[in-house]
Amino acid sequence: MNDNKNDALQHILNSIVENKKNDGGFGAVIARAGVGKTSLLVQIALYSLFEKKSVLHVSLKEPINKVCLWYDEVSTRIERTLKQSNVSSDIWDTVLMHRMIMTFGENQFNTTTFRERLFDLTEQDIFYPQLIVVDGLMVDKENITVFEELKKLAKELSVFMWFSIRSHRHKVSQISHFPPSLIPVTDLFDVTLQVIPKSDTIDIDLTTQIPFESSPDLVLDPETMLIKTR
Amino acid sequence: MLILNSKQTCYKEKSMKHNTQKQRNIGISAHIDAGKTTLTERVLFYTKRIHTIHDVKGKDGVGATMDFMELEKERGITITSAATYCKWNQFEINIIDTPGHVDFTIEVERALRVLDGGILVLCAVGGVQSQSITVDQQMSRYEVPCIAFVNKCDRNGANPLRVKDQLNHKLGHNAVMLQLPIGLEGNFKGVIDLVSMKAIYYEGDNGENLRVTEIPEDMLSLALEYRETLIDEASMYSDDLTEAALEDQVTEALLIEGIRNATLAKKLTPVMLGSAYKNIGVQSLLDAITQYLPSPSEIQNHAIDYDNNDQEVPLESVPDKPLVALAFKLEDGPYGQLTYIRVYQGELKKSDVIYNSRTGKKIKVGRVIRMHADQMEDISKISTGSIGALFGIDCASGDTFTSEKIQLSMLSMFVPEPVISLSIKAKDNKSEVQVSKALTRFTKEDPTFKVTTNSETNETLISGMGELHLEVYVERIRREYSAEVVVGKPLVAYRETITKRSDFNYTHKKQTGGAGQFGRVAGFMEPMDEHFLFTNKIVGGSIPTQYISSCEKGFQDCMNKSPVYEFPITGVHVVINDGASHSVDSSEMAFRAAAIGAFIEGYKRAKPTILEPVMKVVVETPPEFQGAVMSSLNQRRGMIVGSQEQGTYCSIESRVPLAEMFGYSTVLRSSTQGKAQFTMEFDSYRPVPVSIAEELKKELELSKKKAKE
């Protein structure tokens, strides 16, 4: 990774994870449908994978082969921004070695099963996640306990979890601009990255209590749909 | 094996009226154990081709009609794709039942190559499984329109609507229900036909009596909702239907036309339901085959005209045009070679004189037959668009036959490279002759089965697509040829490649009296994705033009066996940019030897590495065994890509080196109480770890030592 902007972004993401992983940190990528939440989660996962950190990608909406395609697609976009002809096969091998995908069919996700699956991996020395990304878990009344239980699990494993959270065009909380459904569980989240389309740019609003040397200014590149520092 | 049963089935066809509109060539393919063969058995029963139903692993021990090989009956699997023919509502249907195991994938490729439509059988419990994905990819490669049949709706955990959603999400189909189930699992009684809006119950001992009634009241609103969706989707491909839908005047005929158009355009996949084992839904599926799948004339087939700049020539399914036919499968039987033929244009009659466009040989057609599993019927001709077989024709699989001496050729099939080998040796002299006969026959029949000889150990090696593939052939040698054989441990087809660029500059010089030998070749080699590429960058004639091809040949010779680990080499780009010659002592042979020397020099410096075949292994298991399965894959140097939770079962996808997969089925069976199954197919070649490379080197040295002793 030899691009300054990418380095800066990677630094921000690393600081977030390192700061909060022991507390079972939670992060949310908030955006409207179709704006690219999955793509952003995959970008976050890839930055960790490039650093040889193990990432568990949990998808509640797409099968394994589609998740793999997301990784192919986003890594190609990252290559393009880095102006490298291709990510070397060694790096790609590293990505594959450190990535594990777990998908759940419709209504098949519950924390008990997830915990079981996760411990199947860790107890047998097959895979220890250092970062978990969860794509497609709806934040609603029924799922409040699911988020609470996942928080406990994250703490137990000292791992940071990123979630994709869908917001609706007109439904925004008066106080925080967050989707109202997120409000009951806001306390669980240590950081949010909210995609806010403006007239000529797509801003990424970073909300966190984590201190940074200089406040990060993030935007979404409309060409690649990747986050970058302005 | 072919058995001629002259009394019962061998009859001369008196007349054969032909109408391609009323003809269907279809294939049935699916994941292992989805019920393809059971479904075919029911189709044959309802179309009165057979009079008793025998199940795949039935208690009567007879086995399904299409699994005619002894081995198929015993194992309950389909090994060869069997062709049969039946009639339904005046439609002539040629059916090919294909194997589900990936090891026999060539049989599926062959079938799909000549079919016009397909039935994708899916299990109502398992849904879209790993092999369904492979089969679907094969269908789309040959652009075969299909109908999905969700089988086993009587099983616990059956959920056909979920399977329909999986068709959309996992395979990217636009699947639409044509039927809804009446009851499910143990209560599965029949189906609601959303086109006619009637309920159909299959009654009688073998479900042969259809009772058509009004839709039960409690299901009416659901049926209306699904019919709405069906009309919406189908109306995209029929203006008349759109108009009728707007005026609320949709008729059955209009709806069928809309569904048919969309299916043929591969924009829609009609989903039918049933339970072949319980005799539910099969007759409706037969109706759907005639209504929604294409006739031969509706599929545009092309041939390549070698006489005309390899131009694509469209073929017409009409009898009065010159014949173009494809030999898609060969089978050796007691009466000589049987060649399966699909006629794309014109007609193929008994006593016709035809040409093999590859060899240019003239052939007189002898017996023309139509196959029904292992039995055959004599017919007078194979009509345009139809499938039949010829006796006593000497040809290779994939040859094109024409009525005139024209250089037309049908496009070839995709033939994957074998990944696994094992040594085979006859126990005695008598068996040796038989083994050699069997191997000659099998290599001719199956392009994925290859026979080679190890020049050092003098062992005969058979290579194929998987352990089961070779196991089946060894068993067939034992049974069909009564030959006693000893087989060695399976060997993996390793390859070698280079990992960095290296230069070479080699002079071949020999002066032993008389004419000497002289040639110098210089340049470099570098890794590449393709198998082999040779580039000549010589300027100024340092190597005379007439010797360049000898250089290329020398380099190419070296690709067959590496100078380091002795495996075949792949992925090398050789560039020559300098050299020297001698006016008297240089010759083609000298430059060939110089190129070989240069390759060895460069190759050793280019950091060669061994590549091993890595397989995509998908295990389907009840969730409680997921941990055990993951551990078993992990122990085999497997890289687990991910797991997919599907409720009653979960699938684990991984990449595992083939060398570690031998005997895995036994391990999996014992660690999951026999409840899990796996599929395996070739994924890619990957470098082996250093420790394994060292072991391979030791093994190689040991086998060389043994060979010398």
Residues contacting B356, CB < 8 A, separation 6+: B363, B395, B399, B400, B401
Between CA A215 and CA A206 the distance in angstroms is: 9
Is residue B704 in some structural domain?
Answer: no
Strand order in the sheet with B82-88: B82-88, B91-97, B23-30, B117-123, B146-151, B269-273, B175-177
Instruction: Tell me phi and psi for residue B265, to 5 degrees.
Output: -80, 0
Q: Is the CB of A71 inside 8 Å of chain B's CB atoms?
A: no
**What is the domain extent for residue B258?**
20-298
Q: What is the pLDDT of residues B639-659, one digit of tens each?
A: 999 998 877 778 899 999 988
Structure tokens at B33: 């154990």
* Best CA proximity match to A76, nearest among A90, A99, A100, A92: A92
**Contact state of B170 with A65 under an 8 Å Cβ cutoff:** yes
Q: Are B107 and B190 in a shared domain? A: yes
For residue B618, give the chain A residue with the closest CA: A64
pLDDT above 90 covers what percent of chain B? 18
- Is B696 a member of any domain? no
- B596 vs B169: which has the higher pLDDT: B596
Query: Is A63 close to B170, i.e. CB distance below 8 A?
Result: yes
Kindly state whether A126 is in contact with chain B, defined as any CB-CB distance less than 8 angstroms: yes
What's residue B17's pLDDT? 43
- Mean pLDDT, to the nearest integer, of A46-73? 90
Chain B residues lying within 8 Å of A97, measured CB to CB:
639
Residues B391 and B463 in one domain: no
CB contacts, 8 Å: A57 with chain B? 642
User: With 90 as the cut, is the pLDDT of residue B513 above it?
Assistant: no
Of B576, B606, B636, which closes a domain?
A: B606
CATH of the domain at B642: 3.30.70.240
Structure tokens, A196: 């806010």
Residue B189 lies in a domain: yes
- When pLDDT is cut at 50, 70 and 90, the band that residue B4 belongs to is very low
Those of residues 645-684 in B touching chain A at CB distance below 8 A are: 645-647, 653
Domain that holds residue A66: 4-229
If asked whether residues B147 and B45 sit together in one domain, one would say: yes
Q: Give all strands of the β-sheet with B179-182 in edge-to-edge order.
A: B179-182, B190-193, B198-203, B209-213
Does residue B8 lie within any of the structural domains? no
Q: Is the pLDDT of residue A74 over 60?
A: yes
Cα B388 to Cα B369: distance, rounded to the nearest angstrom? 6
Is residue B692 scored above 60 in pLDDT?
A: yes
Q: CB-CB: which of A64, A100, A108 is closest to B647?
A: A108
B626 contact A CB<8A: yes
- Residue from the list A97, A104, A123 with its beta carbon closest to the beta carbon of B645: A104
For chain A, say whether B631 makes contact (Cβ under 8 Å).
Answer: yes
For the beta sheet containing B420-426, the strands, ordered from the edge strand earlier in sequence to the opposite edge, are: B450-453, B460-464, B420-426, B485-492
Angstroms from B640 CA to nearest CA on chain A? 7
User: In which band, very low, low, confident or very high, does the pLDDT at B13 lie, cut at 50, 70 and 90?
Assistant: very low
- B376 found inside a domain: yes
Residue B580 sits in a domain whose CATH number is: 3.30.230.10
**B126, B62: one domain:** yes
Residue B472 and residue B507 in one domain: no
For the domain that residue B220 is a member of, what is the CATH number?
3.40.50.300
Interface residue of A92, A93, A120 to substitute, partner B, most B CBs within 10 Å = A120
Residue-level pLDDT at B450: 87
Average pLDDT over residues B354-370: 84
Single-letter code of the amino acid located at B4 = L
Most confident of A11-20, B19-28, B214-223: B214-223
Tell me the nearest-neighbour CA distance from A226 into chain B, angstroms: 24
The overall average pLDDT reported for chain B is 82
pTM, full prediction: 0.68
The verdict on B502 touching A (C-beta cutoff 8 Å) is: no
- Kindly report the nearest CA distance between residue A195 and chain B, in angstroms: 27
A115-119, B157-161, B262-266, B397-401 — which is least confidently predicted? B397-401
Q: B130, exposed or middle or buried, with CB in 10 Å at 0-12, 13-18, 19+?
A: buried
- Say yes or no to pLDDT of A152 above 80: yes
Chain B residues whose CB is inside 8 A of the A100 CB are 640-642
Q: Enumerate long-range contacts of B534-540, CB under 8 Å, 24 or more apart.
A: B534/B574, B534/B576, B535/B573, B535/B574, B535/B575, B535/B576, B536/B576, B537/B575, B537/B576, B537/B577, B538/B576, B538/B577, B538/B578, B538/B579, B539/B577
Mean pLDDT for the stretch of residues A54-75: 90
Report, as an integer, the average pLDDT of B412-432: 80
Partners of B652 in the β-ladder: B619, B643
**Residues from chain A contacting residue B641 (CB–CB below 8 Å):** 64, 68, 96, 100-101
| Cβ–Cβ gap B630/A124 under 8 Å | yes
What's the confidence (pLDDT) of residue B99?
Answer: 65
Q: Which of B162, B626, B642 sits opposite A120 (nearest CB)?
A: B626
**For a pLDDT cut of 70, what percent of chain A falls above it?**
87
Cα separation of B663 and B661, whole Å? 6
Residue B663 phi/psi, 5° resolution? 75, 10
Q: Which residue of B has its CA nearest to A107?
A: B647
pLDDT confidence of residue B596: 94
Last residue of a domain, one of B410, B439, B471: B410
Q: What pLDDT, on the 0 to 100 scale, is given for residue A174?
A: 52
Mean pLDDT of B407-420: 74
A101 to chain B: nearest residue by CA?
Answer: B642
Q: Assess whether B180 and B69 both reside in one domain.
A: yes
Q: What is the value of ipTM here, to two decimals?
A: 0.85
Domain count, chain A: 1
What is the structure's pLDDT at B1?
Answer: 30
Tokens encoding B150: 């969700």
* Domain CATH code at residue B444: 3.30.70.870
Are B161 and B143 in a shared domain?
Answer: yes
> In which band, very low, low, confident or very high, does the pLDDT at B11 lie, cut at 50, 70 and 90?
very low
Q: Number of Cβ pairs closer than 8 Å across A and B?
A: 65
Q: pLDDT (tens digit, 9 = 90+) per residue, B459-489? A: 888 988 877 888 888 888 888 888 888 888 7
For residue A21, the domain's CATH number is 3.40.50.300
pLDDT at B54: 66
Q: Which residues of chain B have a CB within 8 Å of the CB of A109?
A: 645
List chain B residues with CB under 8 Å of A123. 627
Output the pLDDT for position A92: 78
pLDDT attached to residue B178: 92
Confidence class of residue B569 from pLDDT cuts 50, 70 and 90?
very high
Structurally, chain B folds into a number of domains equal to 5
CB atoms within 10 A of CB A196: 17
pLDDT for residue B10 is more than 60: no
Same domain, B321 and B360: yes
The answer to whether residues B185 and B263 belong to one domain is yes
Q: How confident is the model at residue A218 (pLDDT cuts 50, 70, 90)?
A: confident
